Amino acid sequence: MNTSISEKMFEMAKKVIPGGVNSPVRACRSVGCDPVFIQKAKGSTVYDVDGNEYVDFVSSWGPMIHGHAQPEIVEAITEAAKDGTSFGAPTTKEMALASMVVEAVPSLEKVRFVNSGTEATMSAVRLARGFTGRDVIVKFDGCYHGHADSFLIKAGSGVITLGIPGSPGVPQDIVKNTISIPYNNEEVLEQTLREKGDTIACVIVEPVAGNMGCVPPGATFLQKLRDLTSELGIVLIFDEVITGFRLSYGGAQEHFGIMPDLTCLGKIIGGGLPVGAYGGKAEIMDQIAPDGPVYQAGTLSGNPLAMAAGIANLKLLQKPDFYKELNEKAEFFADGLNKAAEKAGIPVTLNRVGSLMTGFFTKAKVTDFESAMEADVDCYGRHYRQMLSKGIYLAPSQFEVLFISAAHSIDELKKAIEMTEWSFKKLAED
């Protein structure tokens, strides 16, 4: 496979962009190669600047649930752009999308749009602190909630991919107000909340961890979390940037039947455009300015292009049997990956929830950050390079999620399974 133009582009990019990329994992350092530069995408296929094409399982890190350049979403964006790209003022589109989101997500009574998942989680934590009058937040080891200072302690995603223990530039005064505890450990959870409950403003959690790879919650973990936070007056925040509108139309909270106090949503509600949102109970949301004292603002919040894309996107998600068909494809693919690993005789533990999955190169169960760290990252790197050479585009990190979209055909999934069998066989022979 010729990637000479990508290689030249990367060298040029490194001269003007730190690391040559605008988000660290994209540099592909953990998988032992340079990145390919993407030129365009359509459906389930992405094309690089050298003309190579790949079946895409990254899906822009999740939001392309309908595939790339979905015609109805593209048309909505194009028509909206004809009227202007930004107003910094109220529009009917943001009102329409807000109504759709509130109707879809069970715990939401009011919602506010922002520009990214990071902005959503940062704003939700500030709101929880303002609402409770407390300072401390509790998060879980390996869960990533964006790059705001409070979240970079024992974070997932690119932080663990690059082996960075937190981040320089985060003041100790902020670190002291963040407690990170093991995911899925109910004993430590209860001990922490009961001992420090009167200082804790909120607990923020990915209801399905997606930034140390896909790690499902234990059978009673989310209910325990809900019961304890309710008892102790702690705001429970679900970070559904990955799971929202992905596991079901109502997100993970509908899927599991657990209602948080606040919910954070991300780029999926804008069809892949820069957008995020946070919402929840009216009594909490009414603390946001101008109704209340907790300040948050943004010129591009509720951007008309993102709102138009979001409306079109959510309408498509309402089609009968959309999630049933998506999850059936995911089940078919996961079964194929498991059989490929079994046939090759290599240790792979596959975690899947709906159309999210991660194959960890380890024989042990992966239930938390510690067990995820047992995965063989070098083995994953070899697998990544081998699959890329055969036209399969995976996430350039062991600790990310593979996404199935509605655009993936069974034939494409079969091709990817066949290439996986080939790659696993090569790994077993080495």
266 in Cβ contact with 63 (< 8 Å): yes
> How many CA atoms lie less than 13 Å away from 405 in the CB half-sphere?
28
DSSP 352-381: EETTEEEEESSSS---SHHHHTTS-HHHHH
* 8 A C-beta contact, residue 376 and residue 42: no
Locate all alpha helices (DSSP H) within 105-237, ordered by sequence. Answer: 117-132, 158-161, 172-175, 186-196, 221-232
Judged by phi (left if over 0) then psi (alpha if -120 to 50, else beta), residue 427 lies in: alpha
Contact 5, 37 (CB under 8 A): yes
CB 282 within 8 A of CB 110: yes
Q: Which residues pair with 52 in a beta bridge?
A: none
Two structure tokens written together for 119:
């902005």
Distance, CA of 65 to CA of 42 (rounded, Å): 12
CA angle at residue 147 from 368 to 19, to 5 degrees? 105
Length of the chain, please? 430
Instruction: State the maximum Cα–Cα separation within the chain, in Å, rounded to a whole number.
Output: 64
Q: Which residues have a catalytic role annotated? A: 144, 239, 267
| CA-based nearest residue to 173, from 136, 120, 130 | 136
Give the residue among 226, 231, 258, 228 at the shortest CA–CA distance from 243. 258
Partners of residue 380 on adjacent β-strands: none
